[in-house]
């Protein structure tokens, strides 16, 4: 008799992971011979810059890298992060206590609740938002409280709408600017409001800044740590994935409050063994990359943004022209909801995009397009949509 093997409750009750579900739909379409234009997932199609790859090739043969790495990351890597923060944001960091390597920022997002959230604690999560904010919370036994991001508020949470009893039970809040999926950017006053709230109600803020370097027209997003008082309550997470086209390399970092960094490090020492040191050496080369390499990448995304934005508007789809990220957040035509429009695009135009409600209930009525194909392919996508809208 075959034994029944049951999943743990924390896994059994999870919704299907959005991007895994999308991957399956794309595979089915390709199996049918569809010429798929994939605008669904934020995975850069541009290769990692050559000098970063060469740095990995030089570092990989070194015998000292073939043993376990330091849990917190190589000091040389953490020092490079601290230098970059000072150069880019004017923020001074202690590489020994205020910088921690991550196996991509997703790992840090997932592990942080395990360090600080007890069963029943509330975690404030943006909706729409990156699904791992809520999933990591649930793995820790916490309760996600969804903060709707509305266009009327510039896609920033309305803190005044959060009940006081919720705030009194809050342990952690996730913020993410430039924002995925809406591509919104927020300013100093909004960050100050978040810091004041965290001080008043004694909770931690985790700011996910994965898209801070994908910006246009010189409008550089700021660091959350630039705000007075932020270092008392916050950490900021970065990924090298988007800035340097290194999604497959799995490396990022957390910076900020030393006590919060320490707690995250405690989880990591028990659950992972750090990042391959040759990848960390290559990451140093990436962090030291100057704008002669990065500016052309931004120009590429800007050209794609303008092509898709202008094309969508021409066929009657309302969208926001973003100042950062490589996404367009668009309203679905009136006769569709988010999911039915995504299915319509896939089945009738061979275009894969991400339904807004997959990022949370507040994303209903929207769809996210990723700028991860070239301009000519983007024009073709618009033309295909024109025929079926």
- Quick one: pLDDT at residue 135? 95
CATH of 50-287 given 3.90.1150.10, 3.40.640.10, 3.90.120.10, 3.30.930.10: 3.40.640.10
The pLDDT score that the predictor gives to residue 18 is 65
How high does pLDDT run on average in the chain?
A: 95
Q: What is the pLDDT of residue 250?
A: 97
- Architecture per CATH, 9-47+292-388: Alpha-Beta Complex (3.90)
pLDDT confidence of 1, banded at 50, 70, 90? low
- Structural domain boundaries in the chain: 9-47+292-388, 50-287
pTM over 0.85, yes/no: yes
The average pLDDT across 295-308 equals: 97
Residue 135, preceding bond cis, omega within 30 degrees?
no
What is the share, in percent, of the chain residues with pLDDT greater than 90? 89
pLDDT at 167: 98
What's the mean pLDDT in 218-231?
Answer: 97
What confidence tens digit (pLDDT) does each residue in 119-150 have?
A: 999 999 999 999 999 999 999 999 999 999 99
Q: Which of 54-58, 248-252, 346-350 has the lowest mean pLDDT?
A: 346-350
- Span 58-83, pLDDT tens digits: 999 999 999 999 999 999 999 999 99
The Cβ of residue 115 has, within 10 Å, a number of other Cβ atoms equal to: 18
For residue 99, the model assigns a pLDDT of 98
């Amino acid at each position: 008799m075959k034994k029944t093997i049951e999943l743990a409750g924390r896994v059994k009750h999870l919704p299907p992971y959005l991007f895994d579900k999308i991957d399956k739909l794309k595979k089915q379409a390709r199996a049918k011979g569809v010429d798929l234009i994939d605008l669904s997932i934020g995975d850069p199609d541009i290769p990692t810059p050559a000098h970063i790859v060469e740095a990995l090739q030089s570092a990989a043969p070194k015998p000292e890298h073939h043993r376990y790495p330091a849990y917190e990351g190589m000091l040389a890597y953490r020092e490079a992060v601290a230098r970059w923060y000072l150069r880019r944001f004017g923020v001074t960091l202690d590489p020994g206590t205020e910088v921690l390597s991550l196996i991509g920022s997703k790992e840090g997002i997932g592990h942080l609740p395990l360090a600080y959230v007890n069963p029943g604690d509330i975690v404030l999560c943006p909706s729409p938002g990156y699904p791992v904010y809520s999933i990591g919370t649930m793995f820790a036994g916490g309760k996600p409280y969804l903060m709707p991001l509305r266009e009327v508020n510039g896609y920033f949470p309305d803190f005044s709408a959060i009940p006081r009893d919720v705030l009194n039970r809050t342990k952690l809040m996730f913020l993410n600017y430039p924002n995925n999926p809406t591509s919104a950017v927020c300013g100093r006053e909004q960050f100050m409001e978040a810091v004041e709230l965290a001080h008043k109600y004694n909770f931690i803020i985790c700011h996910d800044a994965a898209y801070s370097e994908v910006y246009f027209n010189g409008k550089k997003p700021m660091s959350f740590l630039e705000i007075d008082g932020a270092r008392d309550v916050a950490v900021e997470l970065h990924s090298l994935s988007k800035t340097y086209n290194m999604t497959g390399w799995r490396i990022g970092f957390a910076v900020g409050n030393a006590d919060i960094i320490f707690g995250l490090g405690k989880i990591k020492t028990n659950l992972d063994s750090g990042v391959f040191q040759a990848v960390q050496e290559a990451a140093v080369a990436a962090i030291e990359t100057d704008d002669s390499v990065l500016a052309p990448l931004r120009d590429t995304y800007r050209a794609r943004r303008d092509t898709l934005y202008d094309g969508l508007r021409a066929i009657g789809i309302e969208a926001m022209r973003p100042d950062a990220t490589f996404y367009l957040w668009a309203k679905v035509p009136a006769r569709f909801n988010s999911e039915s429009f995504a299915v319509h695009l896939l089945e009738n135009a061979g275009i894969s995009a991400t339904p807004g409600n997959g990022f949370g209930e507040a994303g209903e009525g929207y769809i996210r397009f990723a700028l991860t194909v070239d301009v000519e392919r983007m024009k073709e996508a618009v033309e295909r949509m024109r025929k079926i809208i």
